[in-house]
């Protein structure tokens, strides 16, 4: 049942993004930024942790989880080190994801040729 919940949640979020993309002049970059901001806002409200508990991987594979990670890392840094901890702790949780994306993109770029 966990797989079904994860699939339905992630599918719904992607379907909403596709509807927005098809019916507005927003670009994929705009939608990515919106989803990241929504993830941070839901984390601020305390809702995103409940989404992760309910939908598992369906809520953690979306770009909105990046906003959640940024917000939760910034708050953790603020509690540990004060105001400057916001900046030093912001990328603490998400640095692995960013580094992995860069490394895997480089490997894929070496293997495959781009289309003209």
Question: Does 63 map to a domain?
Answer: yes
Whether 55 contacts 5, CB under 8 Å? yes
Q: Which residue has the higher pLDDT, 114 or 99?
A: 99
E strand or H helix at 53: helix 48-55
pTM of the shown model:
0.80
**pLDDT, tens digit, for every residue of 67-101?**
999 999 999 999 998 888 888 888 787 788 789 88
Q: Using CA atoms, how far apart are residues 69 and 90, in angstroms rounded to an integer? A: 8
Domain count, the chain: 1
Residue 56's closest CA among 67, 69, 43, 65?
65
Question: Does 116 map to a domain?
Answer: no
- pLDDT, residue 39, reads 94
Non-local CB neighbours of 95 within 8 Å, separated by 6+ positions: none
Domain range for residue 84?
2-111
């Amino acid at each position: 049942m966990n797989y079904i919940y994860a699939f339905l949640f992630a599918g719904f979020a992607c379907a909403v993004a596709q509807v927005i993309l098809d019916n507005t002049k927003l670009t994929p970059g705009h939608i990515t930024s919106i989803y990241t901001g929504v993830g941070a806002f839901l984390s601020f409200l305390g809702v995103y942790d409940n989404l992760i508990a309910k939908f598992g991987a369906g809520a953690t594979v979306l770009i909105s989880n990046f906003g959640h990670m940024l917000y939760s890392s910034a708050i953790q840094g603020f509690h540990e080190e004060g105001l400057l901890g916001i900046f030093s702790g912001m990328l603490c949780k998400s640095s692995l994801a960013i580094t992995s994306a860069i490394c895997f993109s480089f490997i894929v770029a070496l293997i495959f040729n781009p289309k003209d």
